[in-house]
Chain A
């Protein structure tokens, strides 16, 4: 059973703080990992992808991957109220072209 686990939250942080979102997955051979942001009533928007162990930074976002621990995280620095959304962790378990398995998402609320 391929599973992706996330804390549903809500995760509440004050404006300017670092928000830390976590995700674990069940299959050790998983290859590709993605973070999507979804505002209420909107479609998922890709914000980060990571494939190798370590950190990957893009602006205020840092994705961290630890394949040995089957763990991927997303850090959002200098959080803004506009970052308030649901963050979906998605994992591709098999060969290219197969669908993503999504976690249930973590709701982030950034207060001003």
Chain B
């Protein structure tokens, strides 16, 4: 079945540091890939998505590229801020199915 593996957290960075959160997936067919973010005390919200190979999703300075050859969708940001502190979830949705498979989440803490 489908699965998503993302790096263990927590990740602690200083403000303005470069961020990478790794995500790899296993799926049949051609899934869509997502990054969701959960700020403290809130539900998840979509951060960005990519729907086909080589697509790059981007939002709020974050970006991720759909790499089919390496089955990866790593999240990056060039300069993190304290307000980026949250839990980040990588997810995929297979073609034709409603179900979304989530990774276990990576907690990011950015210190001033």
A and B from one complex: no
Residues in B lying within 8 Å of A, measured CB to CB = none
Residues in A lying within 8 Å of B, measured CB to CB = none
